Structure 1
Amino acid sequence: MPSPDITHEFDTIEDTITAFKNGEFIIVLDSASRENEGDLIIAASDMTSEKMAFMVRHTSGIICTPSPAPYARTSNSPNGRLERRPQPHRLHRQHRCQPPSTTTGISAHDRALACRTLADPEAGPESLRRPGHVFPLRAREGGVRERPGHTEAAEFCSFAAGKPPVGVICEIVEDGEEVAGEAIRKEPGMLRRDGCLAFGKKWGVEARTVLMWRMEDGRWRWMDEGVRGTRERQTNGEDKTEMRVY
């Protein structure tokens, strides 16, 4: 049974943001009453072929790239019509994308390049072609306070770490058990809380929950300046520190 203590075995927010800032994967879990899943999350600007291969190997393989609404409107993201899915899901962009220099777009190299291109402020619409194998998402305005999802958690991490506001997320899966002599696996599924914590320990990946991100995010006030967003952290009534994101 999972520990009733929500902080049990989770990493500190400082360590998690530091890992994200250093280009490492982190694991973010949402509520058991929601999707009850854990996502591998990394900054799109830090994605490499090797990291993409690891992500695809241990996840569902549906690679998504969340970004906040102001950035999505002004960046090189595909200009496809936004499609609203039933609550509580995020906004999907109907077009998948890949760089013109790629072939099928499905390889780890091609998908990593697509992620970095989406995070590149110098890239434009001509830098991507559709369809592809990376799925851009638009984070809900208001972030994790409005929607406690993995999409918004990735946005939070990007801003907190001073990265371009595009993340890469995908749900972690369990392999299930081998069935002798058959090309199938028994009882595969999504990794839940304890499985994600064990996965993080095995691979040295920091783990947090969206609820804890949300609690922390309550101490931040967003001052939207488009892509060059400014956020001001208020630790008490007077003490403030400011971080600009470029």
Structure 2
Amino acid sequence: MATSVDDIDELAPVRVQRFAKSFEDVLTRFLDGDIVVVGHGTSCALTLNARIASVSSTAAMIRHGSGLIFVAMKQNRLAELRIPPMPADAASRCPGCHVAIDASDGTGTGISARDRGETLRRLADSESVPQDFRRPGHVVPVAGDLVVGGVAATPQIVLMLASLAEDASAAGAFTTLMSVERPCEVATPEEGIDIASRLGYHYVDGHAVRKAFYGYSWPSRPPGGLSGRTRGAIVS
């Protein structure tokens, strides 16, 4: 006879409910355009819903991150936008990186927070076409699709998070969170928790994102993600 978790741990349902509520809070913050810190492995990433990236949020990512902003997207969407992959060898830390781009209009040099925010929103817009972008630029799209036999790295974790919130139109911007105590090094998950608390951001562990993505459910989440609920306008 099979034994369930509930048979051996009467508090398991309580912990499941708490996890569901806390994770839904993370998704809600992400959906609303707030930065969410994701811990994965030995580092952390600042993540942002690319579809409604504001100037202030993009600037915060640049200020507290490595300065290089990526966007985790689906491979087929990158192909539709005719953004080619960059050559990568077997030892590459980002084999899914594509050629950096800028929005082709409405931007200046492309490097400011305003310009990069515009590029992020264009990349996440399902109505965008190849002519809406120029290259080379200052935002690096990354294919975040899961590959059979592959390891879920930061791009995959970020796309999972974006997909849980935004469903089919998902695109998640991210950058590596830098350490405050050691500015030339990346922040560890332990430090990431402290930084998130100090800056007023939500923190989530990559394992929790994967757990939710692979079939976890909670009562109040709509079937198509949280993106159907009412949102405010993008603010700077």
Q: TM-score, normalised by structure 2?
A: 0.76
Which sections of structure 2, spanning at least 5 residues, go unmatched? 1-14, 229-236
More helix by share: 2
2:79 is aligned, of 66, 73, 82, to 73
Match of 2:154 in 1: 150
- Amino-acid identity (%): 20
Q: CA deviation at 1:84?
A: 4.1
- The alpha-carbon distance between structure 1 residues 86 and 206, as it changes in their structure 2 partners (threshold 3 A), is farther
Q: Does 1:242 align with 2:223?
A: yes
CA distance in 2, matches of 1:198, 1:81: 36
Give a deviation string over 1:102-128, Cα, whole Å, max 9, x none: 222111111111111101111111100
> In the aligned structure 2, how far is the partner of 1:168 from the partner of 1:213?
16
Q: Which residue of 2 aligns with 1:181?
A: none
- Any conservation in 2 of the 1:26–1:40 contact (CA below 8 Å)? yes
Q: Which residue of 2 aligns with 1:14?
A: 24
Structure 2 distance, partners of 1:81, 1:88, is 13
Question: 2:71·2:142 contact (CA, 8 Å) conserved in 1?
Answer: yes
The answer on 1:50 being equivalent to 2:56 is yes
5+ residue gaps, structure 1, are 1-6, 177-185, 221-232
> Aligned-pair distance for 1:217?
2.3
- Please report how far the alpha carbon of residue 91 of structure 1 lies from its aligned counterpart in structure 2 after TM superposition: 3.2
1:120 aligns with 125
Q: Which position in structure 1 is the counterpart of 2:43?
A: 37
Q: Aligned partners of 2:125, 2:24: CA distance in 1, in Å?
A: 26
The question of whether the paired residues in 1 share the 8 Å contact of 2:96 and 2:144 is answered with no
How far 1:99 moved relative to its partner? 1.4
Aligned-residue offset at 1:205: 0.8
Q: CA deviation at 1:64?
A: 0.2
Give me the whole-angstrom Cα distance separating, in 1, the residues matched to 2:104 and 2:52.
20
Q: 1:62 aligns with which of 68, 91, 99?
A: 68
Q: Which residue of 2 aligns with 1:214?
A: 210
The 1:124/1:241 distance shift into structure 2, 3 A limit, reads closer
Aligned-pair distance for 1:175?
Answer: 4.2
CA distance in 2, matches of 1:47, 1:137: 17
1:115-161 Cα shifts (integer Å, max 9, x gaps): 11101111111100001000000013359x95332211221122211
Q: 1:96 aligns with which of 100, 116, 132?
A: 100
- The alignment yields a C-alpha RMSD, in angstroms, of 2.9
CA distance in 2, matches of 1:88, 1:12: 34
2:87 match:
83
Aligned to 2:128, what secondary structure does the other structure show?
coil
Q: Which amino acid aligns with 1:242?
A: P
Question: Once the 2 structures are TM-superposed, how far is the Cα of residue 173 of structure 1 from its aligned partner?
Answer: 0.5
Q: Aligned letter for 1:130?
A: R
Change (3 A) 1:210 1:88: farther
Query: Do the aligned partners of 2:142 and 2:155 also contact (CA within 8 Å) in 1?
Result: yes
Change (3 A) 1:85 1:27: farther
Q: Does 1:199 align with 2:209?
A: no
Structure number with the higher strand fraction is: 1
Q: Which of 103, 111, 114 matches 1:106?
A: 111
Q: Distance in 2 between matches of 1:87 and 1:14?
A: 36
Q: CA deviation at 1:187?
A: 6.1
